[in-house]
Structure 1
Amino acid sequence: MTASTRAEAPPHETNAWPALWALCIGFFMILVDTTIVSVATPAIIEDLQAGVNEVVWVTSAYLLAYAVPVLITGRLGDRYGPKNLYLVGLTLFTLASLACGLTTTIEGLIAARVAQGFGAAMMTPQTMAVITRIFPIERRGSAMALWGAVAGVATLVGPILGGVLVDTLGWEWIFFVNVPVGVVAFVLAWRLVPRLDTNQHRFDWLGVALSGVGMFLLVFGIQEGEQYDWSTITGPITVWRLIVGGVVVLAAFVWWQHRNRNEPLVPLSLFADRNFSVSNLAITTVSFAFTAMGFPLMLWAQLVRGYSPTQAGLVLAPMAIVSILAAPLAGRLTDRVHPRLLTLGGFAALGVALLVLSLVLAPDTPLWQLVLVFSLMGVGSSFLWGPLATTANRNLPPHRAGAGSGVYNATRQVGAVLGSAAIAVLIDARLVANGLTFSPSEGSAGGGGALPAQVAAPFTDAMAQSLLLLPAVLVLGLVAVCFFERPRHFGARADAREQEPATAAGPAA
């Protein structure tokens, strides 16, 4: 038996859990950076003299650089080892965070965010791949539930942490804080994450190029459409030509994956597993909603209510607290209850909460109403992030861990990119429809000042109307999870590792 073969054997659970916690520290950090910028948007606008759409690109550039290479980085982890790819990505992410904080121009900030996105793309697939390979299948649900809970909580905590840092130290510190955290995460991952067996892969560079070009054209077209009045950008390049071109290139990517008989970037056979396919569609809508939600909420809280960044972030505290409290229950149920039941409840709770939020949002909305709405969102979040991640990968064999993780995280990031782009377009459109043109000089970008009453009401209407997009998108996810089938581990267990006696987690229902 070779050393690599020994490494492939699942370690005892006491060794697997510390490794997972070590990976989750870095994973939490990169996901916080997906939403942390939203609360700093007014401060960045004021300090760097940027427009709303430019600042939205601070997030969109990160998400785009995160989403495009995540397919190939999953395969790179299989070839060179998930631990090695994770550590390289963590190093790049940490250095790019330092560059973000030191920049003095919006262009420099966007460029540094692109580097951050590449680092995040190296890290994320490795976390799911390691879970799949070091935990036996009957423990995988609980482990993946922790991974999903980290993803959900990070998305919610970002605005809160960002608000505290912007208020106390300045917007630059939403990036500087990553440096010490990155160092700690590196040391822990180096010591606790095992080295796993590697597999040789041929890389589908044509697939990488097609997916990258297609996604860039599509997102850029959506993002910039309102700015160019959905018309000409320059010369023969128009918004609609970019969008249509992106769709065509992505269609060519899918065709190439089907025709490639060597080793496609996305093995379409993965989608033969119905639960994998459904989970990918569902997580796209969830990621879309959570990424898009922060922009109108943070603008409303700071520019209408006059909250400081910290106060604006704390508006979301009930959602984060409830999500953290409910995550252990969701994790236990994931190994026992049909995923259709869990995720239907999650989508219903989240969709209803967002719909109610858009209806009650006003310049003088009572805080108790917001607490109730965001608490319901926290419940929905807990029963979506973890169960969807678990269900997506539960039936996949270990040698498909890298590919499956890459695809799942790519679709999750695609949802985030499209959510960021779509909400920017909709906010611009609704502001114009309500007779407004946003300007940083209207209200105090740093918090403590509010828009005048005659502007606050139509501005709030624009934010509330833009939020209606999110429950509409979530309906697609709700319909998708209706097609979940019973996971294989719920039935007879053929694998020898699955013959262990039932533990405290209990047998599958």
Structure 2
Amino acid sequence: MTSPDHTLVASARRTPSVHWVLASLSLSMLLSSLGTSIANVGLPALAQAFGASFQDVQWIVLAYLLAMTTLIVSVGRLGDLMGRRRLLLIGIVLFTVASALCGLAPKLSLLIAARAVQGLGAAIMMALTLAFIGETVPKARTGSAMGLLGTMSAIGTALGPSLGGVLIAGLGWQAIFLINVPLGILTFTLAYLYLPADRRGPKTGRSGFDPLGTLLLALTLAAYALAMTLGHGSFGVLNGMLLLAAVVGGGVFVFVEARVASPLIRLGMFRDLALSGSLASNLFVSTVMMATLVVGPFYLSRGLGLNLAVVGVVMSIGPIISAVSGFPAGRVVDRFGAPTMVIIGLMAMAAGSLALSVLPALFGVAGYVAAIVVLTPGYQLFQAANNTLVMVDVPADQRGVMSGLLSLSRNLGLITGASVIGAVFALASAATDLTTAAPEAVATGMRITFVVAAVLIVAALAIALASRGRKAT
């Protein structure tokens, strides 16, 4: 139901257009996830085109990731203040224009700069798509909408490498960026036509933006992301200094936020165990899912001796299952309730992680695929349920920042997983160079890594059960 203070135009505009609203939000999610995955496959071609080292072209991926991670909470809060529709349209324009600049960039430095702007656009799209669900979809269908967005995110991630490979082979590296231009124009058109107008309430008493908190959080997150990604698995002095800077920055951020009149993040909301538990579980789960992407290729190629073509096919099974299971998972959440489905999703993930530590050694590729078939639907069920749990009852003026926190916890989990789980795998394999490690060593690393992953999921399950029990009392 719409509240009395809505204009007739806004309410009439919202009700018949829910499907078109979801179409525009789905495309926004698809574009931001596609931007993350499509560039990786182009790094060899980009290194050759610009005569640069692999370490230099890695910044094409890193600039996007850093911009998206460091700014996602801030842009969510900005959307709460200036209007989510207006900011989402700006984000889509930024992403589309930056994509064109990436494809036309004559120098590597300009390409990296354009990728950072593209990452900012992606941060806006990713943060505000979840926020819009609360004001455009009835509560009874929130799970289905969250599942649809999860499906589109999975499709973008799965489509990136294969689509990027085809575009590079047929049209050159520029095409992996220019493909976003027509998609961006379509997304902007749908969003402009069908997203509900921003509510224009009285400005008295409205909290303002927090520039100091925004800067501190961005620097802290940038230091953490760089600590986890620089060095490609080797943790040196620079990584340690960056991690220390992140810890200090986090402390200063908390100190400032506790004293500023209009904080970027209201620290008091973390006293809500259900919210804190959901964000922590989201981080742990994302860490484990990154483990499959980091460890899987090494195990399939070195441990099982598969050629790269077969490895690519096997690795595509997880994203395909994720894309197929996302929307049904959302329907299940609507039917049986988000709190219960969070628990069931985590139980399935724990079973899948344990299966990955055992079944591949017993049954080879079939065992690996069977474990992925258990793990991935559990992940999609958890995502749809957890996002619903967090977003369904959020006050309207906090939806943007809450959506940003959800996306941030996921991104931090992915970054942490790439670094920490990769280090666990290397240590467990007892190999200085995984590309030449013996199959037995890689198999041992696989087994131990996914036992650790299962422990992380069990920890997330314990947190979910504890926060659920506390909320019920």
Say which is worse superposed, 335-344 or 263-272, in terms of deviation: 335-344
Higher mean Cα deviation, 479-488 or 208-217? 479-488
Which of 193, 196, 217 is matched with 1:211 structurally? 217
Task: Give the conservation status (yes or no) of the 8 Å contact 1:322–1:379.
Answer: yes
Percentage identity across paired residues of the two chains? 28
Q: Alpha carbons of 1:162 and 1:55: their partners in 2 closer, same or farther (altered >3 Å)?
A: same
- How far 1:428 moved relative to its partner? 6.9
Q: Which residue of 1 aligns with 2:308?
A: 307
Query: Paired residue for 1:236?
Result: none
Query: Equivalences for 1:235-314 in 2 at 5 Å?
Result: 239-260=239-260, 262-298=261-297, 305-308=306-309, 312-314=311-313
Residues 38, 81 of structure 1: alpha-carbon distance in 2 compared, 3 angstrom cutoff: same
SS at match of 1:395: coil
Length, aligned pairs only: 463
> Counterpart in 2 of 1:63?
65
**Larger CA deviation: 103-112 vs 18-27:** 103-112
Per-residue Cα deviation, 1:400-432 (whole angstroms, up to 9, x for no partner): 22232222222222223333343565677678x
Question: Given the superposition, is the C-alpha separation of residues 194 and 351 from structure 1 closer, same or farther in structure 2, using an over 3 Å criterion?
Answer: same
Instruction: Give distance in 2, aligned partners of 1:165 and 1:351.
Output: 37
Q: Distance in 2 between matches of 1:436 and 1:174?
A: 31
**Alpha-carbon distance change, 276 to 466 in structure 1, aligned in 2, over 3 angstroms:** same
Partner of 1:185: 187
Query: 1:100, CA displacement in angstroms?
Result: 3.6
Give 1:500's aligned residue: none
**Whole-Å Cα distance in 1 between the matches of residues 285 and 224 of structure 2?**
20
The whole-number CA distance in structure 1 between the counterparts of 2:363 and 2:75 is 45
Structure 2 partner of 1:334: 333
Cα pair 2:99 2:178 within 8 Å, conserved: yes
Tell me how far apart the structure 1 counterparts of residues 293 and 111 of structure 2 sit (CA, whole Å): 20
| Change in 2 beyond 3 A, CA 1:148/1:71 | same
CA contact (8 A) 2:71 2:120 kept: yes
Cα distance in 2 between the residues matched to 1:253 and 1:383: 33
Q: Deviations over 1:86-129 (max 9, x none)?
A: 12111211232334444577655543332221111122222122
* Equivalence for 1:372: 370
Contact 1:70 1:121 (8 Å CA) reproduced = yes
Q: Distance in 2 between matches of 1:2 and 1:403?
A: 26
Partner in structure 2 of residue 478 of structure 1: 461
1:223 to 219, 229, 233: 229
Instruction: Give the 3 Å change call, closer, same or farther, for CA 188–255 of structure 1 in structure 2.
Output: same
**Cα shift at 1:481:** 1.7
Q: 1:46 to 1:381 in 2, by over 3 A?
A: farther
**Shift in alpha-carbon separation, 1:295–1:15, aligned structure 2, 3 A:** same
Distance between the aligned counterparts of 1:277 and 1:10, measured in 2? 37
- Distance in 2, matches of 1:91 and 1:300, equals 41
Deviation at 1:9, TM superposition (A): 4.8
Cα distance, 1:486–1:32 mapped onto 2, change above 3 Å: farther
Deviation, 1:211, is 0.8
More helix as a share of residues: 2
TM-score by length of 2: 0.82
* Distance of aligned partners of 1:455 and 1:70 in 2 relative to their CA distance in 1, 3 Å threshold: closer
Gap regions ≥5 residues in structure 2: none
Distance apart, 1:347 and its partner CA? 2.3
* CA distance in 2: counterparts of 1:415 and 1:247, whole angstroms: 17
Aligned partner of 1:220: which letter? L
Aligned AA (2:457): L
Q: Does 1:436 align with 2:414?
A: no
- Map of 1:353 onto structure 2: 352
The residue identity in structure 1 corresponding to 2:252 is: A
SS in 2 for 1:315: helix
TM-score by length of 1: 0.77
Does the CA contact (< 8 Å) of 1:36 and 1:161 recur in 2?
Answer: yes
* One-letter amino acid of the counterpart of residue 259, structure 2: R
Q: How far off its partner does 1:202 sit?
A: 0.8
Which has the higher mean CA deviation after the structures are superposed, 372-381 or 455-464? 455-464
Distance 2:133 2:335 in 1: 19
Query: How well do the aligned residues superpose, as a CA RMSD in angstroms?
Result: 3.8
Q: Quote how far apart the aligned CAs of 1:153 are.
A: 4.3
Among 83, 86, 90, the alignment partner of 2:85 is: 83
**Do 1:211 and 1:249's aligned partners in 2 also have CA atoms closer than 8 Å?**
yes
Question: Which whole-Å CA distance do the structure 1 matches of 2:454 and 2:57 have between them?
Answer: 25
CA contact (8 A) 1:68 1:211 kept: yes
1:20 is the counterpart of 2:22: yes
Q: Verify the 8 A CA contact 2:228 2:415 in the aligned structure 1.
A: no
Displacement of 1:264 in angstroms is 0.7
Contact 1:283 1:412 in 2 (8 A): yes
Going from structure 1 to structure 2, the CA distance change for 1:293 and 1:64 (only over 3 Å counts) comes to: farther
Q: One-letter code of the match for 2:255?
A: W
Q: Which runs of 5+ in 1 are unaligned?
A: 234-238, 439-453, 491-509
Per-residue deviation, residues 372-397 of structure 1 (Å, max 9, x unmatched): 23322331122122111100112212
Cα contact 2:131–2:391 (8 A) shared by 1: no
Distance change >3 Å, CA 337–CA 205, structure 1 → 2: same
Deviation at 1:74, TM superposition (A): 1.4
Compute the displacement of 1:278 (Å): 1.9
The structure-2 alpha-carbon separation of the partners of 1:416 and 1:13, relative to structure 1 and needing over 3 Å to count, comes to: farther
Query: Contact 1:133/1:401 (CA < 8 Å) preserved in 2?
Result: no
- In structure 1, what is the equivalent of residue 136 of structure 2? 134
Aligned-partner residue type, residue 243 of structure 1: L
> CA 1:479–1:40 in 2, change beyond 3 Å: closer, same or farther?
farther
